[in-house]
Amino acid sequence: MQNSEALFLTAALLSAASDLTRRINDGVVARGFEGVRPAHGFAFTRLAPDGATVTELAGHLGVTKQAASQLVDEIVRKGYAERRPHPEDARARLVVLTEQGWACTRAAEEAAAEAVAAWVDVIGEGEVRALCQQLGRIAPYGPIRPAW
């Protein structure tokens, strides 16, 4: 693969990821979840299903504990999460999604399905499934780190 082709592929993947993030966030907002932003969704993926400490969330997001703590303060204030005593560590607090946080997560799943359906309209379901399989082979599974 030529350098120019690799650069095009890189730009196309980053553009697709950016567009997907925007479409999901727009879909969540359209479903009545105002005041959310993509960083919240990236945090929600770590908090579901069993919650996380601020330290674990910071590692997932690739940010400092202070930045993660500020994000947690924000989503708690907005009613999407709550702090609970940690069941195994009396010094730690567990951050878990509230029912509103779970509803927002379900709205994001619906918006993601709509965004991918738009890809199906362009390249077909078989190609989207093949793309999913190929990306699954080369993309590391793990935290999705937002840039903001």
Per the document, the length of the chain is 148
Task: Tell which phi-psi region holds residue 124, choosing left (phi > 0), alpha (psi between -120 and 50) or beta.
Answer: left
pLDDT tens for the chain, 148 residues: list them: 888 889 999 899 889 989 999 999 999 999 999 889 998 998 998 898 899 999 999 998 889 999 999 999 999 999 999 999 988 888 889 999 999 999 999 999 999 999 999 999 999 999 999 999 998 888 776 666 655 4
Triad 143, 146, 148: Cα angle to 5°: 160
d(CA 3, CA 9): 10
The pTM score is 0.84
Q: Which helix (H) or strand (E) holds 69?
A: helix 65-77
**How many other CB atoms are found less than 10 A from the CB of residue 43?**
26
CA distance readout (Å), 26 to 36, 71, 131 = 10, 20, 24
Q: Is 31 exposed, middle or buried (0-12, 13-18, 19+ CB in 10 A)?
A: middle
d(CA 118, CA 114): 6
